[in-house]
Structure 1
């Protein structure tokens, strides 16, 4: 059953098409919160929308509305509690590991669980992997769990709240021997790891290209992989993303080869978050 079915007859018929077909549910089967984006026309009926979500998703304890875009250095947004318990901290379960977080203090997307698994499945035994913009640690932990023979995972995060949760999540998932968390700005912290990595993951679509110099410099002298994320228009999803990586790679004497490209998620009308997997060789 969809929440639109529950709302039929409770809100004006012409507004049913505005009811979101998908929204984030963060947490576990026992306790979760829902975060929904509502058209202004639906705001007078927001509590009815929340009731419909409670009815369809029995594990949801609170329904929040997105009250702003993601903003600031930490990429967090304002949330308005529409209805339910005043809880913001949850333990999110995906693919057998647990991610603890506060939805008001950190960036986290449950919709990218499949993408995290896609990246983790490419990591080889013994590799040194860097995860930039690591957040509460979902990519790093996904890799550690999927490839327990990985050499080391360096996870850099600038948001102190997200970093604290990442440290806790590393312990919760018992991967302290694999994941090395770093608090700070990638521009400042990444140079400590120049020429050490086999693979760099850059899961920040807004502005990740500004850190490509650091990412390429972190790769070993023989090269390695860059997993680069970018916002692209529907008519040409991957050309710009690959070009950005290629230009930086060429400056350091690498040849760039596009080995994979994926549309990860919609961002705005005709604009998508995309991922390109680029192999750099000498």
Structure 2
């Protein structure tokens, strides 16, 4: 039975049409975006979620989009008493406070896929590392990872997560703006994983000079489907070989997150 089915009779048919079809789960937290029109039904929605999923202890209503340099959304607690949790995926654990750090559970497959491509001798760069969901599985496969994140709270959680996963010796965390990476780091990397925030595609050109010729870049961007052939041509004209691309979920009407696996053919 779906969430909408469980709420039939409590919310009008017109109201149910406005209820999101899905919600995100991070650890024991469910995150839902409740439209203003359904404000008076928040408790009913929370009860329906916790009633059908016994592992959910807290329900958060997302009340604002990602904001500021820390890239965190606004939440109100509508069931439970916490925005902090331990999230587990594919054998790794992440301590997160969603009010302080961004985390996207929908990219779990991507994190596993990218980690599966990494060779043991590789040194890897991960900007926008957050609490470590890309960097930690990468480090489990690689020789070393340098992770850069400007949100101090996320870095503190990342340090905890590095310890939780037994990777203290393989991950170096830098609390800094990704724009400063070319000035901070003078080494070359075998691979870069770039989970770029919305509207920041210029970071491909910022980060790629730090990747060895013949090295790899996993670049995430937000585009409508019809723009993808044009984007592939652009990356090829920049000197990259496009090895693979796929859609990683919708983020807005007509806009999806895409990943491009690129091989760097440029000698900087």
Q: Counterpart in 1 of 2:24?
A: 24
2:35 is the alignment partner of 1:43: no
Unaligned runs of 5+ in 2: none
Output the CA distance in 2 between the equivalents of 1:242 and 1:132.
25
Q: Which residue of 2 aligns with 1:143?
A: 138
CA distance in 1, matches of 2:7, 2:95: 32
Distance 2:251 2:172 in 1: 31
Task: Find the counterpart in structure 2 of residue 89 from structure 1.
Answer: 84
CA distance 1:64–1:168, shift in 2 (3 Å): same
Aligned residue among 75, 82, 97 for 1:79: 75
What pairs with 1:114-133 in structure 2 (closer than 5 Å)? 114-133=109-128
Q: Distance in 2 between matches of 1:238 and 1:88?
A: 40
Shift of the alpha carbon at 1:246? 4.6
> Map of 1:160-175 to 2, 5 A cutoff?
160-175=152-167
Contact 2:251/2:257 (CA < 8 Å) preserved in 1? yes
Rounded Cα–Cα distance in structure 1 between residues aligned with 2:190 and 2:156: 26
For 1:112, the equivalent position in structure 2 comes to: 107
What's the counterpart of residue 240 of structure 2? 256
Alignment partner, residue 265 of structure 2:
281
Moved more, 262-271 or 11-20: 11-20
Deviation at 1:111, TM superposition (A): 0.8
Contact 1:242 1:278 survives alignment (8 Å): no
User: Deviation per CA, 1:40-64, whole angstroms, max 9, x where unpaired?
Assistant: 2222211111110011111111211
Q: Distance in 1 between matches of 2:208 and 2:103?
A: 25
**Pairwise CA RMSD:** 1.7
Deviation string 1:68-123 (CA, Å, 9 cap, x unpaired) is 111111111111112x2221111001111100010100110111101111111111
The 1:129/1:242 distance shift into structure 2, 3 A limit, reads farther
Aligned length: 266
Q: Offset of 1:190 from its aligned partner?
A: 4.0
Query: For structure 1, which segment, 101-110 or 34-43, has the greater mean C-alpha deviation from structure 2 after superposition?
Result: 34-43
- Name the CA distance, whole Å, in 1 between partners of 2:233 and 2:162: 32
Is the contact made by 2:122 and 2:191 (CA closer than 8 Å) also made in structure 1? yes
